[in-house]
Amino acid sequence: MARFTRYCPEYMEDAFREQGVDAREILFAIHTDMDANGAHADAYAAVTADALLILTGEEAVTRMEGARRIVARFNARALETIPLKDIKELTNDRLVATGQLCAVNEDGSVRALLLYSVGFLGDAEKLAQTVKNIKAGSPPLQDVSVDADRFCPKCGHRYPESGHARCPRCMDKRSITLRLMGFFKLYRRKAFVVLAVMILGSAASIAVPQIGSRMLFDEVLTPGGSYFGMALAFVALIFLVRAVNVGLNMLYGYVLARTVPWIIYDLKMRIFEAMQRLSVGFYTSKRTGALMNRVNRDANNIYWFFVDGFPYLIVNGLTFAGVLTLMCVMSVKLSIVVMIAVPASVAFFRILWGFFKRFHHKNFVYGAQLNSMLSDSINGQRVIKAFAREEAEAKRFAEVGGKQAGVDVRMSNAAFTAFPLIYLFMFLGQVVVTMLGGVMVVNGELTLGSFLTFIAYLQMLYGPLEFMSWVSNWWARCVDSAQRVFEIIDAKPDVTEPERPAAVDGIRGDIVAKNVRFEYDPATPVLKGLDITVESGKMLGIVGKTGAGKSTLANLIARLYDVNEGEITIDGINVKDWPLAMLRGGIGIVSQDIYLFIGSIADNIRYANPGAGMEDVIRAAKAAAAHEFIMKLPDGYETRVGAGGQDLSGGEKQRLSIARTILQNPRILILDEATAAMDTETEAAIQASLAALSKNRTTIAIAHRLSTLRDADNLAVIEDGKVVETGNHRDLMTKMGAYFKLYKLQMEGLKVINMDAE
């Protein structure tokens, strides 16, 4: 596995040079981490114009300035040189936690070259690609170092995951906070008011003991004091200061409540907009699925920190500083005692807090497990009942519930012993101060009023200190959330609007795919050099087994993903050069997975064309054989569907999605198993309307059942990511190839049924 250091090509060059290789000839090189038996080793694989070089050995690594590591020496063990003319191609096999680079020789034999841990798979793929480019005579990948997207250029550390827009190490807490503060910019004036009010509030709360204790006892109640005997007036003054304090708090709460929700609104809107911009690939990767679930929680984390945490941080900080200053002014001696006793008790508190956090965390995890188990059992009730597993489910639930209860008990036990002890300890500090202060009052070193004020201040110190001892965790959580949010905002979509879009005014409908290669995950190609041609207005039927890459083709034509190699053109223009909105607006896809948005049936049909009139909506529904079932629903076209709405069957939803596409009126129609979820009768009805719809429209129909494709002008059989046969039904039948085999299989299936029926 990789180390988190920046890859440095110089030392690799040196290592090769020592072996007598002219490093300048190296066109591309990678660094991997194992020998052929899986033992740790450093292996460099490099490509020159005519050979593949594999150098194994050990790097001697020394740590230099900060976190950056520099390789001091490479102890080579073996160098192997394989002439490129012997190699037909390099392939990578993904194993479980490793990958294997293999060479397919010109004579067809295969040889294992290198084993590496799976993190290097992407690099090894690039190596294979380079060899392919060289053999084809096209220029190799230019950059010798492949690590640019894996190592942070600023700090030299490896990104925890590739494809990161920014380095989480470099994106330190401060810069994230500054960026979060940026959201406040729009609300500068209000933020200023909040700050001013908070400062005044702190000042008022500090003033209270000064007036309520020191002045009251020393000046008002002590004979000879400046305000001796003015007790009533003083009580009124104390009340006034309190009232001002309360008033300020109200004002502060009011201003804050009007500001922060809008900042969070801004944040959520930005996240949402960023999400709309991202490509489909972003959503299908597992990593981001979890990311999405968190968005709400993250926004809330940030919200609470800024509503609750941040203001109190300022208030508490100011109070702390103010109180401490006043204490020093009143008695330096006592202040020194305070400065020892108070931090000690806070430190003690913090240690115990860390201890509890662990319990809390475990408790939280068990709670989450219980929750998911609960939803599992609610969603799976039918299956649970069908298999009579109620008791087993209850037992499973009880097990985790028991674990959680156990942690709870331990946590409470610990809390009931520890917290009284902490408070006793804290009280001890206070006792010391009281004792010393008392002696000072008796000796006349301190007035009674000052003494009482001092005790009051002492109590005011604990709050801020306690707060500050855990606000850092809170802050860390907020920054953590913010980092994830920024990750989404900063993520770059894989599919982007062309820089210079072709000047076109609409799609005519000629589709050509040339040598298209595509993979969702490294080393697992789905399309392996696929070619198809569809003339404008014609219908191409695509058949093949599941997993042959049929649906992928549809995704690529609509540019939901970009091809890895080869090209797809529409009307002779690469899809990458089409303005995205025009391209996708001109292509209608009816696919297996249907999504209905929350809203009425009519709105869902109108989704691509919100201005369509009711007549058109009904016409589209009729064409999709959906009108009848819609009319059976009590609210007809106003029936609410989507999450929480009317439950529709798979076939019904499918018909709505067909109606939606009909209303979109695209020039290119892609039917991806559009009628697979329907009964034969409905399918026949829809087939008729689809036939009408596809007239004079370029249509690509992907199907499993050959009967669906009887109207196709041309057929293509896809197997293992390639087109193995093309032609019309008659051609393919006489060819007796893959299509013929499929046809026979399906016909035989039907025959068996007929026999049973007789």
Partner 1 sequence: MQDVESASAPLLSDAIDLGYLDPDQARFSQTPGGFLALNYKGADYPRVSVRRSLPLAMPNEYLSLADPEGKEIAILRDLSRLDADQRGLVEAELARRYYCPNVVDVKSVKDQLGYVYFELTVQGAGAPSARMCAVKDVNKNIRMLSDDDVIMFDVDGNRYRIPSLKALNAKSRKRLEPYLF
Is 118 a residue that touches partner 1 (CB under 8 A)?
yes
Strands (E), 409-554: 511-519, 525-534, 539-544
* Contact status, residue 629 vs residue 571, Cβ threshold 8 Å: no
Which residue's CB is nearer to partner 1, number 290 or number 631?
Answer: 290
* Contact status, residue 125 vs residue 114, Cβ threshold 8 Å: no
Is 96 a residue that touches partner 1 (CB under 8 A)?
yes
The CB-of-44 to partner 1 minimum distance in angstroms stands at 17
Is 479 a residue that touches partner 1 (CB under 8 A)?
yes
At 331 the three-state DSSP class reads coil
The CB-of-477 to partner 1 minimum distance in angstroms stands at 10
Q: Angle at which helices 332-379 and 310-330 pack, to 10 degrees?
A: 160
Considering only residues 86, 149, 153, 160, which one is a binding residue for partner 1 as defined by CB under 8 A?
160
Q: Are strands 714-719 and 539-544 parallel, antiparallel or unpaired?
A: parallel
The CB-of-121 to partner 1 minimum distance in angstroms stands at 8
Which residue's CB is nearer to partner 1, number 93 or number 308?
Answer: 93
Is 491 a residue that touches partner 1 (CB under 8 A)?
no
Considering only residues 126, 132, 169, 179, which one is a binding residue for partner 1 as defined by CB under 8 A?
169
Is 112 a residue that touches partner 1 (CB under 8 A)?
yes
Count of residues in contact with partner 1, rule CB under 8 A: 43
The residue with tokens 């204790």 is 213
Distance CA 469, CA 474 (A): 10
Is 34 a residue that touches partner 1 (CB under 8 A)?
yes
* Contact status, residue 34 vs residue 116, Cβ threshold 8 Å: yes
CA angle 496, 502, 506 (to 5 degrees): 100
Residues in the chain: 758
Considering only residues 82, 84, 98, 352, which one is a binding residue for partner 1 as defined by CB under 8 A?
98
The CB-of-36 to partner 1 minimum distance in angstroms stands at 7
Only one of the segments 1-9, 11-19, 181-189, 706-714 lies at the binding site for partner 1 (rule: CB under 8 A); that segment is 1-9
Is 243 a residue that touches partner 1 (CB under 8 A)?
no
DSSP string, 584-624: HHTEEEE-SS----SEEHHHHHTTT-TT--HHHHHHHHHHT
Considering only residues 1, 181, 392, 581, which one is a binding residue for partner 1 as defined by CB under 8 A?
1
Distance CA 265, CA 302 (A): 12
Burial 619-647 (b: 16+ CB within 10 A, else e): bbbebbbbbebbeebeeebebbbbeebee
The CB-of-595 to partner 1 minimum distance in angstroms stands at 27
Residues numbered 344-373 forming contacts with partner 1, rule: CB under 8 A: 358, 361-362, 365-366, 368
Site string for partner 1, 275-294 (x = CB under 8 A): ------------x--x----
The CB-of-612 to partner 1 minimum distance in angstroms stands at 45
Considering only residues 14, 308, 480, 531, which one is a binding residue for partner 1 as defined by CB under 8 A?
480
The CB-of-35 to partner 1 minimum distance in angstroms stands at 7
The CB-of-396 to partner 1 minimum distance in angstroms stands at 16
Distance CA 650, CA 752 (A): 27
Distance CA 533, CA 526 (A): 19
Residues numbered 4-33 forming contacts with partner 1, rule: CB under 8 A: 4
**What's the DSSP call for residue 155?**
T
Is 154 a residue that touches partner 1 (CB under 8 A)?
no
Only one of the segments 93-101, 184-192, 585-593, 649-657 lies at the binding site for partner 1 (rule: CB under 8 A); that segment is 93-101
CB neighbour list of residue 304: distance below 8 Å, 6 or more residues apart = 478
Considering only residues 9, 168, 253, 380, which one is a binding residue for partner 1 as defined by CB under 8 A?
168
Is 161 a residue that touches partner 1 (CB under 8 A)?
yes
Q: Are strands 51-63 and 40-47 parallel, antiparallel or unpaired?
A: antiparallel
Is 332 a residue that touches partner 1 (CB under 8 A)?
no
Q: Which tokens belong to 249? A: 């708090």
Instruction: Give me the residues that bind partner 1 (CB under 8 A), please.
Output: 1-4, 34-41, 95-98, 100, 102, 109-112, 115, 117-119, 160-161, 168-169, 171, 287, 290, 358, 361-362, 365-366, 368, 479-480, 483-484
